[in-house]
Structure 1
Amino acid sequence: MFVRIHTHGNEVILAACDEDLIGRTFEGGGARLRVSETFYRGESIPAEAFIERMKSVTIMNLVGEEVVSIAIAEGKVSPDNVMEIGGVKHAQVVLL
């Protein structure tokens, strides 16, 4: 999976996606999701490192079956809050 960290003021944003989705655009249900290289493509890391990264951020933007499933398994995302756009899982999380 690709993971990239962005900072905006006091917010630390984790952008993560399954590697096979990078550079693609998905549409469905009146929504469009662009998995851009500039936002998502950072380090290619294993699941264990992704789990650690999730612990130190305030916002997460997650795309793909693998990335979203790990976030659900770790209790960071409720399955009820996952949307699908063009058959691709997507979740946005703000940690308070």
Structure 2
Amino acid sequence: MTASAEPGRADVPARYTIVLHPGPPAEPGSEAERDRETVLRTARVEATGALGVSGYPRYAGEGVQAEIDPETRTVEAVTVDGAELPFGWTAGLAEDARPD
């Protein structure tokens, strides 16, 4: 099932699971990469039907608001509980998060 965030766009997924990790991306196989695998929080977000400031569809749920590029599956903007991510945290999509 897809939601249309803008008229004529039926290709926007209805929901995603956002995963928050500590720290920036690290070199493959490094200790920092293993630490980055730690999940600090997840949130299931649903399409709001609006476009965000970035121009990508806006999603919200479980205290998280995000703008996600559906083509690259990149989280372009995100707030958690009304605030920016804490320094060093990164947001991505769950690996098994396929468009619904």
Same fold at TM > 0.5? no
Larger radius of gyration: 2
TM-score by length of 2: 0.26
Greater share of residues in strand: 2
